[in-house]
Amino acid sequence: MPMAKLKKSDVEHVAKLANLTLSQKELTQYTKQLEAVLDYMDVLNELDTSAVEPTYQILDDTKNIFREDKVQSSLTQDDALSSAKDTYNGFFVAADVFGSKKEKNIPEKATSRIKLDQYNAILTKANPEGNLGHKDLFVTKGIETTAGSRVLAGYLPQYDGTVVKLLKDAGYVTKYKLNQDAWGHGASGENSDFGPTKNPWDMSKVSGGSSSGSAVAVATGVVELATATDTCGSVRMPASYTNVCGIKPTYGAVSRYGVIAFASSLDCPSLISSTVTKLRKYFQIIYKGDPLDATSQSKARSEHVDKKVKKLGIPREFISEGIDKETREIFLKATEIYKSLGYEIVDISLPHTKYGVAAYYIIAPTETASNLSRYDGVRYGHPRSFFGPEAKRRIMLGTFASSAGYVGRYYEKAARARTLIKSDLAKAFEKVDAIVAPVSPIPPYDIGEKVNDPLQLYLMDVYAAPASLSGVPSLALPCGFTNSGLPTGMQIFGPRWSEGALFDLGEKYQAKTDWHKKKPKV
């Protein structure tokens, strides 16, 4: 059943639902782009999901997570109002709710931002004595936090997130807030409202995203540790493109409290560092359940025991079609190291791999459209007209996919496909102890090369999607360079809560190779 032609009036209706005011030019553009993306999504119709339950959360059957009915301290009135543009006698001032829509949407002029380093990796310099960089999705009390978006330019958070606090308590002081694709929307680092992050191995190339600044800051040695997030490859992609290591943990292993939400059922606060050994050390600091995050309290965390890893699987779907030849060769060579270390390498199949991107680009935009609803410019930040083009695109896509009449066809369908993708991995882990795979189908590409074709960019996430949609951990680490000197990474993923085993595998590989020791000329 092919998608009926999307009408401009449909897009206008969706924009109204999403509380976005679009120009005629934007309307025309989004109508075309949404149609192309939705057309692609219909690949899901190949799947018979009539007997498949939808997956909306990955929580090891965690249930009944509550807080006791106890009062805790509130913000002072001053703190509550501190980021609002307009207040009066202790109240926030909002546009008259009975007034016309036009009056409410007088666009403010966006201010330009001074670039702080040659790669545009740094958004804010916090403390020169610091030793830690935070992706700008991490909320830092009193330190500007923008999520890479003009909507939050100038926002000084009233609180520290849990990961920020845990690292602070362990003696890590925030040095920089780091650039990223706005709200985490991107695999290339080009979607920051403050300009793309450049790849230190070749300034004309993308650095990978969305945690672009975090990867580049570690790659160039300005910090040894940076926080990041991975919703569908946002740690692994930039780590791979800049020759550093990143861990995307089990979903729920690290608290999301105080990490600006992109797609809540997928977001994993993560870390980037230069070696697996360092990552393992830092990871211990943040690997904790948090009473402020109901999805971080799975009992499976404490019950998990790492199995001895003997068998590694390579998903054949990852190395057959659509992968760059050189990238494939580099990856396969890397797996030879594991063979030489005595691991058995076996061919496995993740048959629903090709549906991963479609499912992901319905689920994540639906959740992000919801999560970005709070940005109305009343309590903090700027009005919704400040959202950049990719954020608007994803808000529109997600609003459409969850709107009346379409939710079954898109959002629910994607949630059922997610179940199939998850069971692919579950079955694979009955055969093998971990899976090794390339991170990206192609090496770093030119900045600007793909920006006008969102679908091509979305397809970059194909190897990231299975682990993300299944909530399993994945470790990304350098595994070689292309002939033109661009870094390539691989990922190792295992069952939920198997980070320890992944770190073991990573350390063994790095003991035998020195790709991770190569640094870009700064």
Partner 1 sequence: MSKYHPVIGLEVHVELATQSKMFCGCPADHFAVSPNTQTCPVCLGLPGALPVPNKKAVEWTMMLGLALDCKVNLESKFDRKHYFYPDLPKGYQISQYDAPLCGVGKLGKIRIRRVHLEEDTGKLQHTTLNGKKVSLVDFNRSGVPLVEVVTEPDLTSALEAEKFARELQLIIRYLGISDADMEKGSMRLEANISLATSEVAKLPGYKVELKNINSFGFMKKAIGVEIKRQEEILSSGKKVTQETRGYSEETGKTFSQRTKEEEQDYRYFPEPDIPPMKYSNKQINELSNKIPELPNVKREKLKKLGLSVNYVEVLVADRSRAEYFEQALRQAQGKLAEPAKLIASVMVNQNLDQDFPEPAGLIRKLIELGKRKYVQVDEVEKVVQVVLKENGKAVQDYSKGKKEVLGFLIGQVQAGLKGQGNPRQIQEILVNSLSDDQN
Catalytically annotated residues: 135, 210, 234
Q: How many residues bind partner 1 (CB under 8 A)?
A: 78
Nearer to partner 1, 81 or 437 (CB): 81
Q: Taking phi first (over 0 means left), then psi (-120 to 50 degrees means alpha), and beta for anything else, what does residue 221 get?
A: left
* Residue 64 binds partner 1 (CB under 8 A): yes
- Minimum gap (Å) between residue 165 Cβ and partner 1: 12
Among 6, 126, 261, 421, binds partner 1 (CB under 8 A): 261
Q: Per-residue x/- mask for partner 1, residues 39 to 58, rule CB under 8 A?
A: -----------------xx-
- Minimum gap (Å) between residue 248 Cβ and partner 1: 17
DSSP state of 130: -
Who contacts 351 (Cβ-Cβ below 8 Å, separation ≥6)? 317, 424
- Minimum gap (Å) between residue 303 Cβ and partner 1: 17
- Minimum gap (Å) between residue 374 Cβ and partner 1: 4
> First CA to last CA across the chain, in angstroms?
53
Calculate the alpha carbon distances from 256 to 302, 462, 477, 504 in Å.
Answer: 19, 24, 24, 25
- Minimum gap (Å) between residue 123 Cβ and partner 1: 15
Q: Per-residue x/- mask for partner 1, residues 114 to 153, rule CB under 8 A?
A: -----------------------xxx-----x-x----x-
* Residue 100 binds partner 1 (CB under 8 A): no
- Rounded CA separation 348/399 (Å): 36
Its sign, for the CA torsion 478, 479, 482, 488, is negative
Nearer to partner 1, 192 or 440 (CB): 192
Among 38, 59, 271, 492, binds partner 1 (CB under 8 A): 59
| 8 Å CB contact between 311 and 346 | yes
List the 132-135 sheet strands across, edge first. Answer: 122-125, 174-178, 132-135, 225-230, 268-273, 245-248, 474-481, 487-493, 434-438, 311-315, 344-348
* Residue 265 binds partner 1 (CB under 8 A): yes
Among 292, 341, 346, 426, binds partner 1 (CB under 8 A): 292
H or E segment to which residue 465 belongs: helix 465-470
* Residue 355 binds partner 1 (CB under 8 A): no
- Rounded CA separation 314/327 (Å): 15
What is the footprint of partner 1 within residues 239-258 (CB under 8 A)?
256-258
Among 49, 197, 366, 419, binds partner 1 (CB under 8 A): 366
Compute the CA torsion angle 475, 477, 479, 482 (nearest 10 deg).
110
Angle CA(163)–CA(167)–CA(168) in degrees, nearest 5? 115
Burial class (CB in 10 A: 0-12, 13-18, 19+), 25: exposed
DSSP state of 409: I
- Minimum gap (Å) between residue 515 Cβ and partner 1: 35
* Residue 278 binds partner 1 (CB under 8 A): no
* Residue 373 binds partner 1 (CB under 8 A): yes
Stretch that binds partner 1, among 76-84, 190-198, 468-476, 492-500 (CB under 8 A): 76-84
Q: Per-residue x/- mask for partner 1, residues 393 to 432, rule CB under 8 A?
A: ------x--xxx--x---x---------------------
* Residue 482 binds partner 1 (CB under 8 A): no
- Minimum gap (Å) between residue 89 Cβ and partner 1: 7
- Rounded CA separation 422/300 (Å): 17
What is the footprint of partner 1 within residues 295-354 (CB under 8 A)?
295, 297
By three-state DSSP, how is residue 435 classified? strand
- Minimum gap (Å) between residue 260 Cβ and partner 1: 4
* Residue 170 binds partner 1 (CB under 8 A): no
| 8 Å CB contact between 268 and 496 | no
- Rounded CA separation 112/125 (Å): 17
Phi and psi at residue 461, in whole multiples of 5°?
-85, 5
| 8 Å CB contact between 227 and 246 | no
* Residue 189 binds partner 1 (CB under 8 A): no
Among 47, 80, 442, 451, binds partner 1 (CB under 8 A): 80
DSSP state of 345: E
Among 30, 119, 155, 429, binds partner 1 (CB under 8 A): 155
Nearer to partner 1, 55 or 207 (CB): 55
Q: Per-residue x/- mask for partner 1, residues 196 to 235, rule CB under 8 A?
A: ----------------------------------------
DSSP state of 196: P
Stretch that binds partner 1, among 3-11, 72-80, 305-313, 454-462 (CB under 8 A): 72-80
Angle CA(197)–CA(259)–CA(268) in degrees, nearest 5? 80
Among 278, 379, 518, 519, binds partner 1 (CB under 8 A): 379
Among 12, 19, 278, 513, binds partner 1 (CB under 8 A): 19
Beta bridge partners of 178: 122, 135
| 8 Å CB contact between 185 and 191 | yes
